[in-house]
Homo-oligomer: A and B are copies of this chain.
Amino acid sequence: MMDIAQKIADKAHDLFIRYGIRSISMDKIAGSLGISKKTVYQFFSSKDDLVTTFVENEITVNIARCESLKAKNSDAILELFFILTYAKDFYKTLYPALMHDLENNHPDAFKKLHEHRQGYLAELMKANMTCGVRNDLYQDDLNFEVITEFLLESLTIILNPDLPHINNQWELLFGYLIRGLLTAKGLALFNHYKHQQEGPLLNGKYFMRSFWDG
């Protein structure tokens, strides 16, 4: 039984991402799995229920990546680079089409997204900044609240399909945005990463991506 629920959720996930939420009905989901709509309704009471499940799954994946990153106990600079990268990946799936559907037609799912951003992601970034200040990598007079809000909001610029030159340059821009936090000590470490033999980080290409990319 669980297996069917999972299959339905996975199929809905694929269809939502590929065609948008509005254009996918319970009929289409059932049809593309070769099962009856009645079977779908046995597991999900409404399309809205499936949409909420979809958003919850995206949030779960994002949290798992971030927790795996935290477990690596890196310095604040690398950690923030990957928090931003994972947040970018998270929003890239949703932005702008699905986000628009969610905001207008699926208030519960949209609320969960908002809570994830203002709760988990914002707290993670503020903890990162506290850690960076403690290790003298970030300046000690940052306004964490304002900068966290700005960084999360700046993802809408970085993912804006009307700004193609910027979309391709997210690694460079994350590097730039992290630099704005740094002390002289932080800047030295930043430049060290940027000029590593293994490949530049924070300047266009991942450094040891396989290790960091959760």
Please tell me if the beta carbons of B157 and A145 are within 8 angstroms of each other in the complex: no
> Contacts A141-B203, A143-B172: A157 and B165 contacting too (C-beta < 8 A)?
no
Interface of A is mostly: helix
The quantity of this chain's copies bound in the complex is 2
Contact of A157 among B142, B150, B166 (CB under 8 A): B150
Measured CA separation A145–B179 after assembly (Å): 18
> Contacts A141-B203, A143-B172, A172-B143: A153 and B166 contacting too (C-beta < 8 A)?
yes
Contact of A149 among B142, B146, B147, B163 (CB under 8 A): B163
Closest B residue to A204 by beta carbon equals B143
Please tell me if the beta carbons of A153 and B146 are within 8 angstroms of each other in the complex: no
Please tell me if the beta carbons of B169 and A146 are within 8 angstroms of each other in the complex: yes
CB-contacts of A169-206 with B (<8 A)? 169, 172-173, 176-182, 184, 187, 203
Measured between beta carbons, the chain B residues less than 8 angstroms from A147 are: 173, 176
Please tell me if the beta carbons of A150 and B179 are within 8 angstroms of each other in the complex: no
Please tell me if the beta carbons of B179 and A165 are within 8 angstroms of each other in the complex: no
Contact of A187 among B142, B154, B172, B187 (CB under 8 A): B187
Tell me if A160 counts as interface (CB < 8 A to partner B).
yes
Measured between beta carbons, the chain B residues less than 8 angstroms from A153 are: 157, 160, 163, 166
Q: 5 A-B residue contacts at CB 8 Å?
A: A145-B165, A146-B169, A153-B166, A178-B180, A179-B182
Please give the residue numbers on chain A whose beta carbons come within 8 Å of chain B beta carbons, in ascending order. 141-143, 145-147, 149-150, 153-154, 156-157, 160, 163, 165-166, 169, 172-173, 176-182, 184, 187, 203
